[in-house]
A and B are shown apart, each in its own frame.
Chain A
Amino acid sequence: IAGITQAPTSQILAAGRRMTLRCTQDMRHNAMYWYRQDLGLGLRLIHYSNTAGTTGKGEVPDGYSVSRANTDDFPLTLASAVPSQTSVYFCASSDSPEDTQYFGPGTRLTVL
């Protein structure tokens, strides 16, 4: 099935633990994105990648890192989770940076 998958669907994590959220797309899109969505706020861009091998910082990058070793995968790592990182995380992709973005189903993360 074409599209974007994310794993896990949800996770409860102790503060201080390391966590990697996975994102895979099979549309051969060049650009990929990580957003967080919090109540009352718009989606906020964490990191992006315009093409495999490159990454960039978005609006709220602190505490997060990404890598883009190939076209399909774009994992997001929280090196040492803090409660303020409790959020819903969406991965998205687009054919090129100026094209429409398509979203994965999201990961609901709770940091205690």
Chain B
Amino acid sequence: GQNIDQPTEMTATEGAIVQINCTYQTSGFNGLFWYQQHAGEAPTFLSYNVLDGLEEKGRFSSFLSRSKGYSYLLLKELQMKDSASYLCAYMDSNYQLIWGAGTKLIIKP
């Protein structure tokens, strides 16, 4: 199986903050990607981390700890349109993306 893990489903309230975690194990690492995928649509790129720390992009932030094999995506001021699946993927030593199964985020009013 894949050595990358993220929760299957999360629920949050409109206007709130949610953190989606992703853990991975690999000997070769060339960065961690987050994508958003609305139902029936293609994945769209959100963020990329290759160094430890936090990358902020508007309402979305992504964090990486390479020593812990851990990343999270933080979504602030949640809106109904944020209801989607969020996919994390690490890039291995061959520059191929290894994908988690995705976290389905449900936003409630």
Contact = CB atoms under 8 A, between A and B. Distances in A.
Interface of A: 40-45, 48, 58, 90, 97-98, 100-106
Contacts of A105: 41-42
A40 B42 contact: no
A44 to B, nearest CB: 7
A109 B95 CA distance: 28
5 contacts: A40-B101, A41-B101, A42-B102, A98-B91, A100-B33
B96 interface: yes
Contacts, number: 43
Contacts of B102: 42
Contacts of A104: 42
B8 to A, nearest CB: 8
Of all A-B residue pairs in the complex, the 3 with the closest CB atoms, nearest first, are A42-B99, A97-B95, A103-B42
Contact of B97 (A40, A45, A102, A106): A45
A103 B96 contact: no
B87 A43 contact: yes
Given A98-B91, A98-B95, A100-B33, A42 B2 contact: yes
Given A97-B96, A98-B95, 14 more contacts: A40-B101, A42-B2, A42-B4, A42-B89, A42-B100, A44-B99, A45-B96, A45-B97, A90-B42, A98-B30, A103-B43, A104-B42, A105-B42, A106-B41
B60 interface: no
Nearest to B44: A103
A44 B87 CA distance: 13
Nearest to B42: A103
A106 B99 CA distance: 17
Contacts of A43: 43, 87, 89, 97, 99
B23 to A, nearest CB: 14
Nearest to B88: A42
Contacts of B4: 42
A99 B87 CA distance: 17
A48 B96 contact: yes
